[in-house]
Amino acid sequence: MKTWRMILALVSACALTAAAQPNGPRGNAPNDAGRGMPRGVNLSRLVKNERLLNSLNLSEAQVNALKERAATSQKKIADLRDAIEKAEADVRSLMQADTLDREAVMKAVDKAGQIRTDLRKMHIEDQFAISEIAGPDALRELRAQRQRQNMERRSDRGPRRDGDRPGMMGRRGPADDDLESEEP
């Protein structure tokens, strides 16, 4: 009887732990591979949206500089996301080995963490680039527009009913003019 209780308690603890993970039982945090990352203006989305670019009254040289920066940034971000996936796979394989090597696992975790930090820095550098190229007023305007979009989305959801999870009602994919980072 005690054995069954112990097994039931262990299974329950595992299930609760898996359910409590940020992204469900897979255990992938929202920041894995850069998703869910910064809540700044997404440079790549900005340069694809002519209406937004026009609303900022930027010169052609500024628009071209932003587009160049976005192209360079996208390549680096893709490389960093791939590196995160590989580093996480390394951690998983080390953790699934028959004999655990603490030093190797910790080194792999540190490597994955450093790559995540590099990815975060890349997104922040994009924010600086927008400010430096388009000017701080343009960055403030983009942030204000993003904030207005978020407020509109919240008001479109309607009143919450008891038992609804906040932020999930009426959830849709990103709009064409969505400035927020995927990441993000």
pLDDT in tens, 41-50: 888 888 998 8
CA dihedral 81→83→86→87, nearest 10 degrees, is: -110
34 pLDDT above the threshold of 80: no
Domain boundaries, the chain: 34-152
**Contact indicator for 49, 176 with CB cutoff of 8 Å:** yes
Alpha-helical runs (H) found in 20-156: 43-48, 50-55, 60-95, 102-134, 136-156
Which one of 37-41, 49-53, 114-118 scores highest in mean pLDDT? 114-118
Sign (positive or negative) of CA dihedral 162, 168, 171, 176: positive
Lowest mean pLDDT segment, chosen from 54-63, 87-96, 99-108, 167-176: 167-176
pLDDT of residue 109: 96
Is pLDDT larger for residue 71 or for residue 163?
A: 71
**How confident is the model over 10-16, as a mean pLDDT?**
57
